[in-house]
Amino acid sequence: MATRVVIFFKTMQAARCPTDELSLTNCAVVSEKDLQSGQHVTVRTTPAHKFVFTVKCHHSVLPGTIAFSLPQRKWAGLSIGQEIEVANYNYDKSKQCIGAMTIEIDFLQKKSTDSNPYDSDKMAAEFIQHFNNQGFTVGQQLVFSFCDKLFGLFIKDIEAMDSSILKGEPESGKKQKIEIGLLVGNSQVIFEKSESSSLTLVGKAKTKEARQTIINPEWNFEKMGIGGLDKEFSDIFRRAFASRVFPPDIVEQMGCKHVKGILLFGPPGCGKTLMARQIGKMLNAREPKIVNGPEILNKYVGESEANIRKLFADAEEEQKRLGANSGLHIIIFDELDAICKQRGTSSGSTGVHDTVVNQLLSKIDGVEQLNNILVIGMTNRPDLIDDALMRPGRFEVKMEIGLPDEKGRVQILNIHTAKMKEFNLLSGDVDVKELAAETKNYSGAELEGLVRAAQSTAMNRHIKATSTVEVDMERAEKLQVTRTDFMASLNNDIKPAFGTNQEDYSCYIMNGIIKWGDPVTRVLEDGELLVQQTKNSDRTPLVSVLLEGPPHSGKTALAAKISEDSQFPFIKICSPDKMIGHSEISKCQAIKKVFDDAYKSQLSCVVVDDIERLLDYVPIGPRFSNLVLQALLVLLKKTPPHGRKLLIIGTTSRKDVLQEMEMLDAFSTTIHVQNISSGEHLVEALELLGSFTDAERTTIAQNVKGKRVWIGIKKLLMLIEMSLQMDQAYRVSKFLSLLKDEGADRGFYE
């Protein structure tokens, strides 16, 4: 609600402050008929002397009078009953917001002195909360209550806040002294004890240190240990913290409520906990409370809910005491899905999870709303969390912390190698950009692990492998981590959880691709076109192709070759041999996990091999798994999230079966892979394989010339290897015999 500004100018009488409690507010006290609480006025005592006060209304003050505390009367030279001129005063918030204020402090009464240390940081936070949105003048005197002690304060120096910060721009660095300023939530208060004081101060606020930089959007991510999350941090700042940077009265006039909850989700090791930790450090707030989800749960009835209430108790108490001036309380929940599962889904009969969720809901955004909290939740499984927690007003800022891109990986590697560079322990041949290009789909934690593994490899070179483990100190002093160390760790030690496992598809193309004719070349060319379409087309983020053909024609090898040549950061083969013995439900879950992992990468390729085997199809009956069929139909058509692209390559030997199951329509296109069907193609394949001598190939060519053959490349390889086990004189005849038998079964080789 906007504050009504009353235009005011009149002569009033000075009076004594009605209560001690009002004296501690540092406000001039007036009647509600004269002014409104929170307004600022100038008090002119003589033509040359005027003072600025913030006013507060109280029913005990008579209209036409304005009451001052003793320190205020001393400062302004006022006496009881004195007539003074009072007028409105409006602060120019672009020039008069306090950036930093230096205050001299001492015990108010000498008899109440003690030797206890007083934390100036807590004192500064309490001061800002207590006197938020009040005007202060250089030379002003006031009384301040802290830890049940009264202190006398003297305003020594005021610096204006850099106006760039209020605009969300980088600091200009200009410091301007002012006489009168308005205290706001992100002002810095510096306490200095008086020269003759016996007061003991501890903490940072007793020295000058610019606090407004803490809320500056221009972060030094590398010093904070954060890399690859610039955009995410920017978005979180815009959504969650922008309202906390502005003066509270502007926020109130806009009717703006602060964001109370942030949910960070994404794959493990991508920096969710690190980001939450830094959010806690970056704000001028209470020390964050960090809670692991399972720690909340307790075997005793009601204790789990009590643990939730304890987390919010301090924030509730402070809001009741200080209202809008209360400081920010941050509560960080790690593994949020452990305690906030969907209600009604727990298998146990106790219902503990449900009541914990209910308690958390009521505390974050219940009937009695708290506006001084920020709850940060972290999870790898946002799908498990109760829907009520995800609505606006609760965890309304949902931020996916995904796998870093190449620029992000450069930042992360620079962070983890900075110390080695500083002490000249990183060899000059290590190129961070090259490592970033080689580490597709690595998470931040995996990149840190890669650096550690390279360090271990380098250190291992300087350990003597004798009966005792000794370090060669002479060589150790010249220790350097080289490019070879990084490459060895990359190939052997650290593999990305969401990356491409080369062993998955290398076994399918261990004999290479035998381009025995145009049919093979055409399949590879069409596959390359589909790869380029997936990379470049924004209209088709999902591309799916089915390679169909007779058994042993090399469909899986071609699919693996197309996926390998794509150089996509994520390549996975969904194969029936990894699901032997799985139930229908567990098979569906395994297939879904492959696709879910693929959605987390910018570019992904999934090979769904031998689809009829995945479906448990047998011709007797016929019988197949309808559950797996429906899961595949859904996943083959599901478009990946915005900004992600997916290529699906399926293989089958039973196109007719998939046609009956209405699965062919789920693929964007179909490519036919055919067998070797002519003698010329057979001879070409033999020449490429190089298993027989020139003379042997000539004999085979004469025998197959003009004949119709029909054999898959895999079967051909098997026949060749079988023939090669014979003596050289019989190899050709054995091969031709096996070839004839193979073709005779199908009516070929005529």
Give the pLDDT confidence score for residue 524 in this predicted structure. 93
pLDDT reading at 507 higher than 50: yes
Query: What CATH number was assigned to the domain covering residues 676-744?
Result: 1.10.8.60
Q: Which CATH fold would you assign to the domain 221-400?
A: Rossmann fold (3.40.50)
Give the pLDDT confidence score for residue 218 in this predicted structure. 43
For the ranges 314-318, 483-487, 504-508, which has the lowest average pLDDT?
Answer: 504-508
The CA distance from 168 to 722, in Å, is: 75
Q: Which one of the listed residues 379, 417, 556, 652 is annotated catalytic?
A: 556
pLDDT in tens, 611-632: 999 998 988 877 888 999 999 9
H or E element at residue 13: strand 9-16
- CATH number for 406-493 (one of 3.40.640.10, 3.40.50.300, 1.10.8.60, 3.30.70.360): it is 1.10.8.60
Angle at 582 between CA 581 and CA 587, to 5 degrees: 150
| Sequence ranges of the chain with CATH classification 2.40.40.20 | 10-88
Name the band, by pLDDT with cuts 50, 70 and 90, for residue 711.
confident
Q: Are 219 and 203 in contact (CB under 8 A)?
A: no
Q: Are 674 and 663 in contact (CB under 8 A)?
A: no
Q: Are 216 and 165 in contact (CB under 8 A)?
A: yes
Q: What is the mean pLDDT of the segment spanning 367-374?
A: 78
Residue 251 CB contacts under 8 Å (≥ 6 apart), including other chains = 243, 258
Q: What is the mean pLDDT of the segment spanning 245-255?
A: 67
Give the pLDDT confidence score for residue 283 in this predicted structure. 66
pLDDT in tens, 144-172: 888 888 888 889 888 888 766 555 555 55
Give the pLDDT confidence score for residue 3 in this predicted structure. 42
Q: Which one of the listed residues 609, 645, 652, 715 is annotated catalytic?
A: 609
Give the pLDDT confidence score for residue 169 in this predicted structure. 57
Q: What is the mean pLDDT of the segment spanning 59-87?
A: 88
pTM over 0.85: no
How far from 242 is each of 186, 259, 283, 287, 342, CA to CA, in Å?
A: 12, 10, 11, 20, 31
Helix (H, G, I), strand (E, B) or coil at 718: helix
Single-letter amino acid, residue 404: P
Catalytic residue at 714? Answer: yes
Query: What CATH number was assigned to the domain covering residues 502-672?
Result: 3.40.50.300
pLDDT in tens, 665-702: 999 999 999 988 888 888 888 888 888 888 888 888 88
Q: Which one of the listed residues 272, 555, 561, 572 is annotated catalytic?
A: 555
Q: Which one of the listed residues 208, 398, 592, 714 is annotated catalytic?
A: 714
Catalytic residue at 609? Answer: yes
* Average pLDDT for the chain: 81
pLDDT in tens, 212-227: 333 544 445 555 556 6
pLDDT reading at 7 higher than 60: no
Give the pLDDT confidence score for residue 401 in this predicted structure. 82
Q: Which one of the listed residues 386, 610, 651, 715 is annotated catalytic?
A: 610
Residue 748 CB contacts under 8 Å (≥ 6 apart), including other chains = 708, 709, 710
Q: Which CATH fold would you assign to the domain 98-202?
A: Vcp-like ATPase; Chain A, domain 2 (3.10.330)
Give the pLDDT confidence score for residue 374 in this predicted structure. 86
| Sequence ranges of the chain with CATH classification 1.10.8.60 | 406-493, 676-744
- What's 10-88's CATH class? mainly beta
Name the band, by pLDDT with cuts 50, 70 and 90, for residue 409.
confident
Give the pLDDT confidence score for residue 465 in this predicted structure. 61
Q: Which one of the listed residues 74, 320, 637, 705 is annotated catalytic?
A: 637
Query: What are the phi and psi torsion angles at 143 (to 5°)?
Result: -110, 140
Burial of 230 (0-12, 13-18, 19+ CB in 10 A): middle
Proportion of the chain in helix, strand, coil states, percent, rounded to 5: 40, 20, 35
